[in-house]
């Protein structure tokens, strides 16, 4: 792996480990370059990925030249990196440990175990915690055989066993060196605390928790019921999704990182550590189809509970703890990934109006209700009120699915998804799952269809367009085929899919749009849109094309099967927050659509 001269690893060279509360990015050279504590949306302790100088990291690698390769343990979110050197080889196992029974465990624990596979390999490690996005520094002290670094109400403690004598470098970094021979092992455990005393880990306890964590993940994976093509990619995507679930509340973050740029050196750097309701439909669809009922159930409860403060109006994103505020601010102290500034924390899009959210949410409620067969009375009443709100507000201007920061307008996809919302509301009412006001909902749904047909269609392009005043092609219009706005073989949808391929596709990759969006700078192709295209083709029955495109896209994952939000089609470089939940959800749903379409064809 090659870092840039100023110390940045390619986004593609990271892997994710996590425990359902927070997640860490581990580079191919064994450096943990991103970790927020105690939760995924808390301030970072390691943010080398956003500032190689002052971000903070936990490095662990051979001190002689090496080649590294890595994999996740089968069906697991435990990462294994093998370092080959001229002197021998070692294996590094990285995990965020899970609790083990009722034993007193650290609040969070990053566990790093190194085992000698052959020869004798000199190793080195360096721990540089930098609390509060690099602004808080860290001061070490020694307690009970552990080194402790603190900042306000946060603290981390390092337990190091057979990993050399920790030496203080300055007063804010700890380093050690050791030699590992075949059959030997060393362990480093970083335990954290927040507003509570530290639980200092012992080696045996840390080993036990690591073993328990290694045993848990394959058991969880065995619940994933998908048996079709690309099973490995689908399972890896499900495992990523599981890491994005914030276990205490059931919310799902869009990605575990903030401010990784959508174009190198550009300003499109956003914080994705929030739950977007838009992703709800894709997430619930995937969870239900994969047989992950507990997660689907938890997420549905979160969805209905989190949105109660604003119902019947829905906010586009919520914090994972249910709080609706997501104030955006910049952190000028961090330089940004390879100089891509500003680093933004929080998300200003939270206050936008995005009407497509209602379609996504109603689709998810419909899928969930079909799956479990009922909705309780209270939920039903709330759902009907949201449908009434859609009836009254679908004529409003909005910022659309892509959260443009230019002027609001009448986005075609937003209107079509309002139709999806009212259509699903009528279906729910038909089944007596919600109070029946379907007559007025159907009337408004018909009015939406008439509007989209008249204002959102371009004869010249033979395609639906972004908006009446934006006569451009938009890849989000592929969702009209996926969410059954019209039959995928309908002439207009066929024309739209063809137009997306003609104007937005570059190789296997699809751009979101080409026009203005109120933000300076370029961006890469949007991987979710590429998987949407696969999904739409499958629904059209163009199975050979869908399979071929899917093969190409699956090949573009990194070495451990992860995807970012965007990709530079010319270089294959990953861009944007990583790994991106929506991309993995779109992959799962595309694979399932191909499997369904194949089954239908065989049955016919």
Partner 1 sequence: MTIWGALAGGAVGTVVLTSGLRIAQAAGYTRMDIPLLLGTIFTDNRSRASLIGYVIHFVNGLLFALVYYAIFRAVGHAGWVFGAILGVVHAAFAGGILVTVLLPVVHPRMGTLWSDSEETPILEPPGFLLVNYGRRTAIGTLIGHVAYGAIVGGFAAHLH
Binding region for partner 1 (CB under 8 A): 18-21, 38, 77, 98-99, 105, 107, 216, 220, 242-243, 245, 247-251, 294-295, 297-298, 301-302, 305-306, 308-310, 321-325, 376-379
Q: Which is nearer to partner 1, 378 or 555 (CB)?
A: 378
Q: How far apart are CA 389 and CA 392, in angstroms?
A: 5
Q: Strand 146-151 vs strand 245-246: parallel, antiparallel, or unpaired?
A: unpaired
- Degrees to nearest 5, angle at CA 192 with 331 and 184: 115
Minimum CB–partner distance for residue 377 and partner 1 (Å): 4
Least Å distance between CB 319 and partner 1?
A: 8
C-beta of 251 vs 426, nearer to partner 1: 251
Helical H runs in 513-604?
527-539, 543-555, 581-603
Q: Give me the phi and psi of 389, to 5 degrees please.
A: -60, -40
Nearer Cβ to partner 1 (22/31): 22
Q: How far is the CB of 384 from partner 1 (least distance, A)?
A: 15
Q: In the complex with partner 1, which residue's Cβ is closer, 242 or 424?
A: 242
Shortest separation between residue 24's beta carbon and partner 1, angstroms: 14
CA geometry: angle at 216 spanning 215 and 221, to 5°? 110
- With left for phi above 0 and alpha for psi between -120 and 50, is residue 83 left, alpha or beta? beta
Q: Which residues are CB-neighbours of 146 under 8 A, at least 6 positions away?
A: 157, 158, 159, 198, 200
Min. distance of Cβ 408 from partner 1 in angstroms?
23
Output 325 or 601, the one with its CB closest to partner 1. Answer: 325
Q: How far apart are CA 20 and CA 22, in angstroms?
A: 6
Q: How many residues does the chain have?
A: 604
Do you find a cis peptide bond into 342, omega within 30 degrees of 0?
A: yes
Measure the CA–CA gap between 320 and 305, rounded to whole angstroms. Answer: 12
Cβ of residue 393: shortest distance to partner 1, in angstroms? 17
Closer residue to partner 1 in complex, CB, 100/395 = 100
Minimum CB separation of residue 461 from partner 1 in Å reads 43
By beta-carbon proximity to partner 1, the closer residue of 216 and 389 is 216
3-state class (DSSP) for residue 403? coil
Q: How many CA atoms lie within 13 A of 134 on its CB side?
A: 23
CB of 371 to partner 1, least distance (A): 15
Which of left, alpha, beta for 259 (phi over 0: left; psi -120 to 50: alpha)? left
543-555 helix and 581-603 helix, angle to the nearest 10 degrees: 150
Pick 193 or 554: Cβ nearer partner 1:
193
Q: Are 112 and 46 in contact (CB under 8 A)?
A: no
Of the two residues 134 and 346, which places its CB atom closer to partner 1 in the complex? 346
Q: What share of the chain is helix, strand, coil (3-state, %, to 5)?
A: 35, 25, 40
At its nearest, how many Å lie between partner 1 and the CB of residue 133? 21
Report the nearest approach of partner 1 to the CB of residue 97 (Å).
9
> From the CB of 379, what's the least distance to partner 1, in Å?
6
> For residues 179 and 297, which CB has a smaller minimum distance to partner 1 in the complex?
297
Q: Are 69 and 101 in contact (CB under 8 A)?
A: no
Q: Which is nearer to partner 1, 145 or 377 (CB)?
A: 377
- Cα 223 to Cα 203: distance, rounded to the nearest angstrom: 31
Distance of CA 551 to the CA centre of its chain: 22
Q: Looking at beta carbons only, is 163 or 251 nearer to partner 1?
A: 251
Cβ 89 to partner 1, closest distance in Å? 30
- Cα angle for residues 99, 102, 108 (degrees, 5° grid): 30
H helix count then E strand count, the chain: 13, 28
């Amino acid at each position: 792996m090659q870092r840039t001269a100023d110390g940045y690893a390619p986004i593609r060279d990271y892997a994710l480990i996590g425990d359902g509360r927070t997640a860490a990015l581990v580079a191919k050279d064994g450096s943990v370059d991103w970790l927020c504590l105690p939760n995924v949306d808390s301030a970072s302790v390691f943010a080398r990925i956003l500032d190689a100088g002052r971000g903070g990291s936990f490095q662990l690698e051979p001190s002689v030249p090496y080649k590294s390769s890595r994999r996740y343990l089968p069906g697991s979110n435990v990462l294994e990196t093998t370092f080959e050197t001229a002197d021998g080889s070692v294996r590094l196992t990285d995990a965020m440990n899970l609790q083990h029974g009722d034993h007193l465990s650290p609040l969070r624990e990053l566990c790093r175990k190194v085992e000698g596979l052959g020869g004798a390999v000199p190793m080195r490690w360096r721990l540089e915690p930098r609390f509060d996005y690099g602004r808080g520094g860290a001061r070490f002290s020694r307690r009970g055989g552990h080194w402790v670094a603190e900042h306000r109400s946060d603290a981390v403690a390092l337990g190091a066993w057979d990993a050399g004598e920790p030496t203080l470098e300055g007063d804010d970094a700890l380093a050690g060196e050791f030699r590992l021979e075949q059959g030997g092992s060393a362990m480093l455990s970083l335990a954290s605390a927040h507003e509570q005393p530290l639980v200092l880990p012992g080696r045996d306890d840390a080993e036990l928790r690591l073993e328990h964590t290694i045993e848990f993940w394959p058991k969880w994976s065995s619940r994933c019921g998908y048996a079709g093509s690309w099973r490995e990619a689908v399972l890896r995507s499900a495992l990523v999704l599981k890491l994005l679930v914030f276990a205490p509340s059931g919310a799902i973050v869009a990605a575990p990182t903030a401010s990784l740029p959508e174009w190198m050196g550009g300003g499109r750097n956003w914080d994705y550590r929030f739950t977007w309701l838009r992703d709800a439909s894709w997430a619930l669809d995937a969870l239900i189809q994969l047989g992950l009922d507990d997660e689907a159930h938890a997420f549905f409860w979160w969805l209905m509970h989190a949105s109660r403060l604003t119902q019947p109006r829905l906010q586009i994103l919520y914090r994972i703890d249910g709080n609706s505020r997501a104030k955006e601010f910049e952190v000028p102290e961090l330089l940004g990934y390879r100089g891509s500034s500003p680093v933004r924390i929080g998300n200003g899009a939270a206050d936008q109006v995005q009407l497509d959210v209602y379609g996504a949410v109603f689709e998810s409620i419909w899928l969930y209700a079909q799956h479990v067969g009922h909705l309780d009375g209270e939920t039903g009443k709330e759902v009907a009120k949201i449908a009434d709100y859609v009836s009254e507000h679908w004529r409003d201007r909005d910022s659309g699915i892509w959260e443009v920061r230019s002027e609001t307008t009448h986005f075609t996809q937003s209107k079509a998804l309002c139709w999806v919302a009212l259509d699903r509301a009528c279906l729910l009412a038909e089944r007596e799952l919600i109070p029946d006001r379907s007559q007025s909902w159907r009337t408004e749904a018909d009015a939406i269809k008439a509007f989209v047909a008249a204002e959102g269609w371009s004869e010249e392009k033979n395609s639906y367009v972004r908006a009446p005043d934006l006569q451009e092609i938009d890849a989000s219009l592929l969702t009209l085929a996926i969410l059954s706005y019209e039959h995928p073989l309908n002439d207009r949808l066929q024309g739209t899919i063809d137009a997306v391929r003609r104007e937005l596709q570059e190789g296997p990759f699809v751009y979101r749009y080409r026009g203005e969006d109120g933000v300076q700078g370029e961006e890469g192709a949007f991987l979710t849109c590429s998987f949407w295209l696969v999904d739409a083709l499958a629904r059209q029955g163009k199975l050979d094309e869908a399979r071929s495109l899917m093969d190409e896209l699956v090949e573009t994952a990194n070495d451990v099967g992860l995807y970012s939000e965007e990709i530079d089609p010319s270089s294959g470089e990953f861009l944007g927050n990583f790994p991106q939940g929506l991309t993995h959800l779109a992959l799962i749903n595309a694979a399932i659509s191909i499997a369904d379409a194949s089954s239908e064809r065989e049955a016919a």
